[in-house]
Each structure stands twice: as structure tokens, then as C-alpha cells.
Structure 1
Amino acid sequence: MSESVAEKVRFSRYEDFRRWTETQPGYWILVHGEAMPSPSPSRIHQEISARLEMLLFEVVRRTGRGWVYDAPLDVKLREDTVYQPDLLVVLREHADRLRPTHIEGAPDLIIEVLSPTTAHLDLWEKRYDYAQAGVQEYWVVDPESRRVELYVREGEQFRLHASAQHSGRLRSVLLPDLEVDLETIFRDL
């Protein structure tokens, strides 16, 4: 396949998409069959992601409760929908979702750090797709407004459970040992 990046490239099967991405520069996601480039995150985005990953590592990996991964790692929600969340957690009881090349199905927890170019996707399509696939908890971190929103799954959709801006603490429902202090996450950025 030799389509230019400007042309829309569509896939109905993950394996075809994965083979195609191996010949393309950069990182790609698959949104309802359409291949989309995933832009490089900013330094501030990376700093926030790293701080959150350290917290997740302490609560999940060191206690043996599961696995923590960061982008880029494919999360295949359906054959035609593959995302690369900034951070994700797969609990031990869902180890069957771990594949050598990707996560097959819904991680238990996902954190997305918003970027100006992908904020709409994170707030709308991804949130809907994550809930439909079975993600139990979804965190959205906005570096510009210094706001964090914590969503929990109810039925097949997310409900806003808690949010804070600039300061305060948010505690995970899924992982009660996970508490995020906003002042620490956004300090010196």
C-alpha cells in the first residue's frame, strides 16, 4: 500500500493496520477504521505523564497488582479501533489481554494527557470508545487549565466521579491507594 499520508487510509482489520504502520514514519492510531497520525507530545505533556506513571508504578507494579504501560503501545479495542493511551493499567486478573505486541481489549484504567491537537479526540471519541470497550476508569489531564477529571464506568458509559483544578487531590475508585495531588503533578511547569 503506497498511499500518501494526506490521503485517508482505512482498515477493517488490526493486523492489516499493524503491518501498514511498520512502513510508516511516526506513530499511528486507528479511529473507527481510519488511520490517523499521533503527533509527538510536548515536553510538559511528557513531564506530567512521567509523574503520573511513577505514581501508577508504585501502586500497581510494586504491589504486584498488574502492569503499567505508556505510549506508544497499541490498545486494540475492536478490529477497527486502536489507540495508544498516554498511560494504562491492566490488572492481574486481566492478564489474558496482554499480547507480545499490544493490549487486546480494554485496559482497566487509562490516563490521557491532553494536547491541543488531540484534545477533542480524547474528550469525545476516545472517552466513548473506552467506555464501550469496558475501561473501568478514565482520567483526563489538561495541562493548560491544570484540571484533572476522573471518570468511572457505569453501564456502557462514563460518569464524572471527581475533578479538581490547580490544587486538591483525586483518589482512584479502582485503585484506592492511588491518590493524585494536583499541586505535585503541575509543580514548576
Structure 2
Amino acid sequence: MARAIAEGLRFERYEDFRRWTETQPGYWILVRGVPMPSPSPSRRHQEISLRLELLLVEAVRRAGIGWVYDAPLDVKLREDTVYQPDLLVVLKEHADRLRETHIEGAPDLIVEILSPSTAHLDLLEKRYDYAQAGVQEYWVVDPDTQRVEVYRLEGERFVLADTARGKGRVRSGLIPGLEVDLEDLFRDL
């Protein structure tokens, strides 16, 4: 993945980055001041995202405990770091983080579905940045290995709290009733 469209291009403020993206094709994230293109996900990636979003809507929206959003929606963790998680949840007690154009600060739960071109970023930089920002729960979904990992924030870092591969279930410690059956999640993919 290209680190930036133009060598040396950097942004220190979200507003400048946002204005710049309005003139660029596609979707962009900002990693410590450096704009990076966000590639279009595969059909399989989109199907997994949709299945998880339906489960999140059931557990979060219908229970009236918060909001569920999918990409692309900017999550401004810092002035120089803006991601577009595949799925995110903001609980009602953090409604002050909702803006018209983005989420200001850490969502309560983030789901990233790995793609070959972004896996390194999702597993290292994003995971670190999400933990530092205070995301309470981080889910990593690997379509290739049919593995789901659920990390919970302890102090300033994520600790693996639940995992399954191919079959079995993973559960949220944050969202009551949120449970994912991996056979259902990856069926016919």
C-alpha cells in the first residue's frame, strides 16, 4: 500500500486532511500525519462485514444502548491519526463523541476484517493506536483462517480475551448478548 500519494505529504490537523480528501478519489486514512489510500474491500470482506453488522445492530441498536456504524466513517483518534474501521460501536454514555462528519475519539468497540493489503496495519499500528485512544474492545476477523480474536483493553494495551477458529463462538465482554457463531459467520464463503 502506498504510504502517500505525494512524497512528503503530511497533515498535522484533521480539518486540513478532511479538506484534502474531498478532492481525492477513493477513501483515505491518516496514520501519524501521513495520508494512505484505503483500498476497496473484496466481496467476501463485505459479506462478513454485513453479517457482523446485523449482529451488532441486533445487540446494540435494538437494545437501545448505542450506535453502530460501518466504513467509511472517519474516526479521529488524534489530530494526525484518522482511521475508517470496518465496523464500530459508540455506546450512549459516549454520545458526545459523535460528530456530523466523524467520530471524535475512541469508539467503544471496533471490528477490523483483515485484507492482504491492510493486515499489517490492522494487526500492529491500528491495534496500538486503538488501545492508546481507549477503545474498550477490538475484534480482528481473518477471513483466510476463519479466525476471530476479541481483545479487551487492560490499562493501555489490548489483551486477548476470546478467540475461535473455523467453529465455536466468541463473545463480547462489552456488549450484552453479542455472540458470534463462526460457522454461521463464514458459511458459504
Is TM more than 0.5 here?
A: yes
Describe how 1:74-93 pairs up with structure 2 within 5 A.
74-93=74-93
Provide the C-alpha distance between the structure 1 equivalents of 2:178 and 2:166, rounded to a whole number of angstroms.
18
Give the aligned partner of residue 32 of structure 1: 32
1:176 to partner: Cα distance: 2.7
Deviation at 1:5, TM superposition (A): 2.2
Q: In the alignment, what sits opposite 1:169?
A: 169
- For 1:1-189, list aligned pairs within 5 A: 5-189=5-189
Residues paired across the two proteins, number: 186
Once residues 144 and 8 of structure 1 are traced to their aligned partners in structure 2, the CA distance between those partners, rounded to angstroms, is: 34
Flag structure 1 segments of 5+ consecutive residues without an equivalent. Answer: none
CA drift of 1:51 comes to 0.1
Distance 1:7 1:119 in 2: 23
The secondary structure found in structure 2 opposite 1:67 is strand
1:7 Cα offset (Å): 2.8
Please tell me whether the aligned partners of residues 30 and 83 of structure 1 are also in contact (alpha carbons under 8 angstroms): yes
Amino acid at match of 2:103: I
Provide the C-alpha distance between the structure 2 equivalents of 1:141 and 1:176, rounded to a whole number of angstroms. 20
Alpha-carbon distance between aligned partners in 1 of 2:39 and 2:6, rounded to the nearest angstrom: 14
For residue 64 of structure 1, what is the amino acid of its counterpart? Answer: G
Structure 2 gap segments, 5+ residues each: none
Cα distance in 2 for partners of 1:64, 1:142 equals 29
Distance apart, 1:9 and its partner CA: 1.9
Moved over 4 A (4+): none
Q: How far apart in 2 are the matches of 1:36 and 1:71?
A: 15
Which one-letter code corresponds to 2:73 in the other structure?
L
Calculate the TM-score normalised by the size of structure 2: 0.97
Deviation of 1:160 after TM superposition, in Å, equals: 0.5
How high is the TM-score relative to the length of structure 1? 0.97
The Cα RMSD (Å) is 0.9
The answer to whether the Cα contact below 8 Å between 1:8 and 1:35 also exists between their aligned partners in 2 is no
CA offset at residue 6 of structure 1?
Answer: 4.7
